[in-house]
Amino acid sequence: MGFRLEGIFPAALLPLLLTMILFLGPLMQLYMDCQCDLADGLKDVLAPRSWARCLTDMRWLRNQVIAPLTEELVFRACMLPMLAPCTGLGPAVFTCPLFFGVAHFHHIIEQLRFRQSSVGSIFLSAAFQFSYTAVFGAYTAFLFIRTGHLVGPVLCHSFCNYMGFPAVCAALEHPQRRCLLVGYALGVALFLLLLQPLTDPKLYGSLPLCVLLERAGDSEALLCS
């Protein structure tokens, strides 16, 4: 289920670094739109008072701690080991996120109940959310298999919840859009370049899920090596 000490430090740091590289453009956009100085911003982020305020905010706890931990535990740590022996690792990586995407359909009920928009736009928004949550679920499933740890997917999930979906339209209208678009493109290019090296299973020790499949006489060489 991804709870082990072997290789825990690279499993916590490298997937998060990889995800932050992918979000290079949005991070640049966040910095450009921030009114405070970088040093002052870091001081505020690292201040114990800021963390105490976050830990008493139930919305922050839900989005940054509870949801990432419970969703990754259910849809990666529990579901992948059950699906993989039946389907193989490859199909499991793409099947598991479908359940993850469907699990977010409860937002439709909330929006319909409070009449936040038209019915058509609500269902269109739900379809879009299903698409990107399914893609994200496939990514964290890939991380879980390649690292053999749950900590990486949880931290990446928390980071992505904080960042939200990249504001590409706002970047296109930004006064420094050329710089931002270079950042977006560079982030994607570096992400694709570093995806395999930073998730190399050799960095994380033995992979429990791959060992389980090998014992069952099934081995997915592309994902386990």
Tell me which residues are annotated as active site.
71, 104
The DSSP letter of residue 129 is H
Other residues' Cβ atoms within 10 Å of the Cβ of residue 11: 27
Please write down the long-range contacts of 86-95, taking CB distance under 8 Å and 24 or more positions apart. Answer: 88/213, 88/218, 88/220, 89/145, 89/209, 89/210, 89/213, 89/220, 89/223, 89/224, 90/220, 90/222, 90/223, 92/141, 93/138, 93/141, 93/142, 93/145, 93/223, 94/138
- What are the structure tokens assigned to 12, written together? 């916590």
Q: What are phi and psi of 53, to 5 degrees?
A: -65, -40
